[in-house]
């Protein structure tokens, strides 16, 4: 596919694209990471901003995933992992199925991913699922998948067919997708600006250090660079204080007003325990939400601040939405695109992001210390339980 041709042909569409369903993602093989473990990343953009973590006792495998808070049963899973280390996410693709019709309901990606998590243990299982569901699935998506055997690939998938792109066979060991498929037609597809922004960022990092969870969390997930305009909001002259109202037009950045949640799934090396697969989860707008690592093991004991209790939106997600509301105070017309930067960051360093995000350092350090021990001696469920108790309390203190 000629990327330059797509950029020229879709520029107008990109500028006016509806705010929802504009995800950015990556599939990274172990050969491209610092520690040799594969990584799956999804930056979820959607109109359903209330998100939760949910544990499901699957028909074959148990799983933990991100679901919409209103989805009480977790019918649709938008990214997650199961007890075998099989992990999946997707981005909507707008240039597959363009000349095809099918007598099935569209927008079934979430139910399809739940089915995969319940029944698949590796890429081979997933490919069998794709084959048996041909013509029976209402999807138009790039599915990113990793497993505990070192598998890491995208499957660009439509109603009837799919095409596999293996990250292990790619030049640098990683692949990036936004809202177009490389195998799709050249006349449709979206997310080219975000694709270019993320591609440049990954290329620079890979050439220096290879890739890591920390890089994706700190740089890719909270990226405020714009590859078309050349602007970087982090390099702007900041407002004096939180009363110095300064608006930034936040369109076609990786972080958008429609960003609902993020998951960075860190897999395992071959012969490591799949239970060590770690879901570094951001359950809310990433500029205001601290990362909360979780595991499928003891998934029925996830911190209460990350799950829906009595069918309510999780505490962390609701707290962040309340704060985010002040970041986007204009409610009429296209006001949702205008970020009041002074509330987020300012010279007095009392913006929401400046006071909240540094507090996740303690979470990351605790989780990494546990993982270091667990990789040598096996996962310690007592330590995990205590960590969840501490994490729940710490989230309450932060928000």
- Residue 132: is it exposed, middle or buried by C-beta count within 10 angstroms (0-12/13-18/19+)? exposed
Give the per-residue pLDDT at 99: 84
Q: Which residues contact 288 (CB under 8 A, 6 or more apart)?
A: 320, 323, 324, 327, 352, 353, 356, 357
Question: What values do phi and psi take at 54, rounded to 5?
Answer: -140, 140
Rounded distance between C-alpha atoms, residue 165 and residue 53, angstroms: 29
Give the per-residue pLDDT at 20: 54
Rounded distance between C-alpha atoms, residue 21 and residue 71, angstroms: 17
pTM over the 0.85 mark: yes
Q: Model confidence over 203-225: pLDDT tens digits?
A: 999 999 999 999 999 999 999 99
- Cross-strand partners of 41: 26, 264
CATH 3.40.50.80 fits 3-398, yes or no: no
Rounded distance between C-alpha atoms, residue 122 and residue 52, angstroms: 25
Ranges of residues in the chain whose predicted pLDDT is under 50: 1-19
User: Is 30:14 a contact under the CB 8 Å cutoff?
Assistant: no
């Amino acid at each position: 596919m000629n990327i330059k041709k797509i950029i020229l042909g879709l520029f107008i569409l990109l500028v006016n694209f509806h705010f929802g369903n504009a995800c950015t993602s990556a599939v990274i093989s172990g050969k491209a990471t610092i520690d040799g473990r594969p990584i799956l990343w999804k930056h979820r953009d959607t109109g359903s901003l209330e998100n939760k973590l949910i544990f499901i006792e699957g028909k074959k495998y148990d799983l933990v995933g991100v679901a919409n808070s209103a989805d009480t049963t977790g019918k649709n899973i938008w990214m997650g992992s199961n007890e075998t280390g099989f992990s999946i996410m997707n981005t909507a693709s707008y240039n597959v199925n363009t000349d095809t019709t099918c007598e099935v309901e569209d927008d079934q990606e979430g139910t399809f991913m739940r089915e995969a998590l319940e029944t698949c243990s590796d890429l081979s299982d997933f490919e069998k699922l794709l084959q048996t569901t041909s013509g029976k699935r209402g999807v138009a998506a790039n599915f990113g998948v990793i497993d505990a055997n070192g598998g890491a690939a995208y499957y660009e998938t439509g109603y009837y067919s799919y095409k596999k792109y293996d990250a292990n066979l790619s030049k640098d060991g990683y692949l990036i997708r936004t809202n177009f498929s490389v195998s799709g037609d050249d006349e449709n597809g979206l997310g080219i600006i975000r694709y270019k922004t993320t591609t440049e960022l990954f290329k620079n990092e890979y050439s220096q250090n290879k890739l890591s969870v920390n890089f994706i969390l700190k740089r890719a997930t909270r990226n405020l660079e714009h590859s078309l305009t050349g602007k970087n909001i982090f390099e702007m002259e900041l407002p004096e204080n939180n009363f110095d109202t300064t608006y930034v037009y936040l369109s076609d950045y990786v972080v958008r007003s429609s960003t609902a949640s993020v998951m960075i799934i860190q897999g395992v090396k071959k012969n490591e325990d799949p239970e060590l697969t770690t879901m570094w989860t951001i359950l809310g707008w990433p500029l205001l939400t601290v990362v909360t690592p979780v595991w499928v093991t003891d998934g029925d004991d996830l911190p209460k601040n990350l799950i829906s209790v009595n069918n309510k939106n999780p505490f962390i997600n609701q707290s962040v939405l309340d704060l985010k509301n002040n970041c986007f105070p204009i409610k009429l017309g296209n006001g949702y695109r205008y970020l009041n930067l002074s509330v987020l960051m300012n010279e007095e360093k009392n913006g929401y992001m400046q006071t909240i995000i540094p507090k996740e350092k303690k979470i990351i350090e605790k989780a990494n210390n546990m993982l270091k021990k667990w990789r040598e001696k096996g996962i310690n469920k007592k330590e995990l339980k205590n960590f969840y108790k501490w994490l729940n309390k710490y989230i309450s203190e932060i928000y």
